[in-house]
């Protein structure tokens, strides 16, 4: 019996049965209610339902008991179970999975979130049925898929490999070679692709909030990715099969094959998956910003190896492509190609060697983005931004530079090099640049460096830069792992006459408490946070409240990412002290900066 939308859903809920039933019926499915937990097992035996919702909100022990009582029966029917938890019981996610849940949803949640969770529950049952239907190894497949990832309810890495091997073993007369460059005479193969997906910034979230919140974030990620994978909106490959799996802590993978799936279909799906991270995740009171990157590998023509071995190789190649994608900007998608320029790990090692040479030769360049003081209308400062013009690869993004530095254990050395160069340059500025403040970024590696303060003092002394012109920008992510140590360090900087700014406020795990607890002089509102100024009345109120509280604490507020007149006016209305962004000017070299500042009074009058 296929899992259809009309299949009944058994709801076991002593308190909120009507509410849950309404949400189930809103999806077009049939609701069956059991309000007495002690009768749940008997009701399940009498009902044809394979889908079960156990509402443990306000009755955790009782709800987990119901899940344990029904777990074996749900599994034997190739079904799935969704458990609802109260917000105060959010740390019981693992216990719910251990009791037999294939999915967990923590309140508060709306009908859309519930519908998405129910859809994943249905899909899980479908995967079980698909694996068990029409194969001699039905029992083994059922047993393997029943051992799903306990946190997200997705397939595991081993299940992904088994499933991929099964599809690879299927003949396909009309299939085409799926790797660019494969010979036209290559034998017909059943098409197969694997997309490896890496989640960025998850380690910071885990460190900031702890495992319970991190687990809820991963569950939310799995839910969103599952919606995209199950949507089947992938070019001409509407008939292909797909399986979403969780490979590691913050790594997922999608295997797709059959039908007429081609490389462009896999690429389109990968792009949809990484774009899913552009919208933040909301977990309780936290707004979590993550990033995604993807690597794609397709079946190679002409291989004569067992399906199990080929599946393992396919997954490895997708992971290799992901390694390359991690060296790029957020949202990067890389396709593995046979020997394009060496193994991705070799290319990373080459980048690390090149970075050593670039630092020694002074080939790391600096650009400067002006900051406008709204009260005076003058250019009051600049932020120094690092760039690396690679002799072969061209201009690399700052993120690639920093990741390469971290991989090569050069992060501290690179930070010292950049700050020393920037301070020396700013100290020598004259004319319209002479009084500009210069903002320099400080990373987590810098703060963890026991020689940071001493190296900074030496660089300041050697450069001759006035201390009141230097602003050090520190992100929340850089200080979260050692709040006390970071606070002492920042206080030492302030006492030495250097200003400290809290950068990227409004991303990740921002809290108003940071402004009161840390010895800082200013905050920089991130561009994603600033979008609230032109959003709903509620969003505008949030931003204006943050600005007002900052001013009351004696902090200067700088708005980043101001790109048009509307955002400029909104920043002024909210009470920001300064703005930075393309509405004022893009990052530029020193000569362009000098020309810009000389012409600025006329530009300001004209605008």
**238 shares a domain with 164:** yes
Structure confidence at residue 304 (pLDDT)? 57
User: Which pLDDT score is estimated for 11?
Assistant: 94
Torsion of CA 557, 558, 559, 563, to 10 degrees: 150
- In this structure, the answer to whether residues 163 and 116 fall within a common structural domain is no
Say what the pLDDT of residue 173 is: 39
Of 100, 124, 148, the position where a domain reaches its end is: 148
Cis upstream peptide for 108 (omega within 30°) = yes
Give domain status of residue 355, yes or no.
no
Domain with 466 in it: what CATH number? 3.20.20.450
- The token pair that represents 524 in the structure block: 């920089």
Range of the domain at 468: 367-385+409-606
Give the Cα separation of 294 and 270 in Å (integer): 6
Residue 135 sits in the same domain as residue 162: no
The reply to whether 418 and 537 lie within a common domain is yes
Report how far residue 418's alpha carbon sits from residue 407's, in angstroms, rounded to the nearest whole number: 18
CA angle 602-569-592, nearest 5°?
40
How many domains are there within the chain? Answer: 3
Point out the domain boundary residue: 148, 163, 186.
148
- Does residue 362 sit within a domain? no
Helix or strand holding residue 217 (H, E) = helix 211-231
Domain-embedded: residue 395: no
- Phi, psi at residue 195, to the nearest 5°? -110, 115
Q: Which tokens hold the place of 250?
A: 């913050």
Alpha carbons 152 and 104: distance in angstroms, whole number:
8
DSSP letter for 280, please: P
Dihedral, 569, 571, 575, 579 alpha carbons, nearest 10: -120
The pLDDT, as a whole number, for residue 498 is 94
3-state helix, strand, coil in the chain (%, to 5): 50, 20, 30
Verify that 456 and 522 share a domain, yes or no.
yes
Does 357 fall in a domain? no
Distance CA 38, CA 10 (A): 14
Tokens 């012409």 belong to 599
- The CATH number given to whatever domain includes residue 306 is 3.30.70.270
Q: Read off φ and ψ for residue 119, nearest 5 degrees.
A: -65, -40
Rg, C-alpha atoms of the chain = 28
Report if residue 360 sits inside a domain: no
Which parts of the chain sit beneath pLDDT 70? 1-6, 128-147, 170-190, 231-240, 259, 300-305, 337-350, 392-395, 397, 399, 407-408, 477, 480-482, 506-514, 528-535, 602-607
Q: Are residues 124 and 227 in the same domain?
A: no
- Indicate whether 78 and 168 sit together in one domain: no
Domain assignment of residue 112, yes or no: yes
Handedness of CA 82, 79, 225, 402 (dihedral sign): positive
Tell me which residue of 373, 474, 374 sits closest to 419, measured CA to CA.
Answer: 474
Phi and psi at 350, nearest 5°, equal: -60, -40
Q: Is residue 358 part of a domain?
A: no
**What are the backbone angles phi and psi of residue 256, rounded to the nearest 5°?**
-140, 135
512 in the same domain as 416? yes
| CA distance readout (Å), 182 to 185, 261, 269, 337 | 8, 16, 22, 10
SS3 state of residue 178: coil
Does residue 102 form part of some domain?
yes
Do 302 and 431 fall within a single domain? no
Residues 413 and 508 in one domain: yes
227/85 same-domain check:
no
Q: Are residues 127 and 169 in the same domain?
A: no
**Residue that finishes a domain, picked among 148, 178, 205:** 148
142: domain CATH number? 3.40.50.2300
């Amino acid at each position: 019996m296929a899992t259809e939308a009309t299949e009944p859903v058994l709801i076991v809920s002593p308190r909120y049965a009507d509410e849950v039933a309404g949400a189930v019926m809103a999806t077009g499915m049939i609701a069956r209610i059991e309000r007495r937990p002690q009768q749940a097992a008997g009701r399940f035996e009498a009902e044809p339902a394979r889908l079960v919702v156990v509402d443990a909100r306000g009755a955790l022990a009782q709800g987990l008991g119901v899940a344990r009582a029904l777990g074996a029966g749900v599994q034997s029917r190739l079904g799935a179970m969704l458990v609802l938890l109260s917000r105060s019981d959010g740390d019981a996610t693992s216990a719910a999975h251990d009791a037999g849940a294939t999915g967990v949803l923590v309140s508060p949640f709306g009908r859309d979130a519930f519908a998405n969770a129910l859809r994943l529950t249905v899909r899980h049952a479908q995967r079980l049925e698909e694996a068990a239907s029409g194969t001699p190894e039905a029992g083994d497949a059922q047993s393997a898929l029943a051992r799903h990832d306990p946190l997200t309810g997705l397939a595991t890495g081993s299940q992904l490999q088994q499933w991929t091997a099964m599809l690879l073993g299927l003949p396909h007369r009309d299939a085409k070679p799926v790797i660019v460059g494969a010979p036209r005479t290559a034998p017909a193969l059943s098409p197969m692709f694997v997309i490896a997906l890496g989640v960025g910034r998850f380690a910071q979230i885990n460190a900031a909030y702890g495992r319970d919140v991190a687990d809820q974030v991963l569950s939310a990620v799995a839910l969103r990715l599952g919606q995209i994978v199950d949507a089947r909106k992938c070019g001409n490959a509407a008939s292909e099969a797909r399986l979403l799996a969780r490979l590691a802590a913050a790594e997922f993978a999608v295997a797709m094959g059959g039908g007429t799936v081609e490389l462009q279909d896999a690429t389109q799906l990968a792009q949809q998956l990484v774009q899913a991270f552009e919208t933040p995740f909301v977990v309780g009171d936290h707004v979590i910003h993550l990033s995604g990157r993807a690597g794609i590998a397709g079946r190679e023509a002409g291989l004569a190896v067992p399906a199990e071995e080929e599946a393992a190789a396919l997954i490895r190649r997708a992971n290799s492509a992901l390694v390359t994608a991690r060296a790029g900007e957020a949202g990067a998608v890389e396709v593995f190609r046979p020997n394009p320029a060496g193994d991705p790990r070799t290319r990373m090692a080459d980048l690390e060697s090149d970075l050593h040479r670039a630092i020694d030769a002074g080939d790391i360049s600096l650009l400067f983005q002006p900051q406008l003081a709204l009260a005076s209308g003058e250019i009051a400062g600049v932020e120094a931004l690092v760039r690396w013009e690679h002799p072969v690869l061209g201009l690399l993004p700052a993120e690639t530079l920093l990741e390469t530095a971290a991989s090569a254990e050069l992060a501290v050395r690179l930070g010292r090099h950049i700050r020393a160069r920037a301070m020396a340059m700013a100290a020598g500025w004259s004319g319209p640049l002479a009084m500009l403040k210069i903002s320099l970024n400080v990373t987590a590696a810098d703060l963890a460096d026991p020689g940071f303060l001493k190296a900074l003092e030496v660089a300041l002394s050697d450069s001759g830069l006035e201390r009141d012109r230097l602003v050090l920008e520190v992100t929340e992510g850089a200080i979260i792992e050692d709040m006390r140590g970071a606070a002492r360090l920042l206080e030492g900087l302030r006492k030495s006459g250097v200003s400290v700014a809290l950068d990227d406020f409004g991303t990740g795990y921002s809290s108003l408490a940071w402004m009161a607890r840390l010895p800082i002089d200013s905050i920089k509102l991130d561009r994603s946070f600033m979008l609230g100024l032109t959003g709903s009345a509620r969003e505008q109120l949030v931003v204006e409240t943050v600005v007002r509280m900052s001013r009351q604490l004696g902090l200067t507020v700088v708005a980043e990412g101001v790109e048009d007149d509307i955002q400029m006016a909104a920043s002024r209305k909210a009470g920001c002290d300064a703005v930075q962004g393309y509405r004022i000017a893009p990052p530029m070299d020193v000569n362009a900066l000098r020309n810009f500042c000389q012409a600025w009074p006329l530009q300001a009058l004209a605008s």
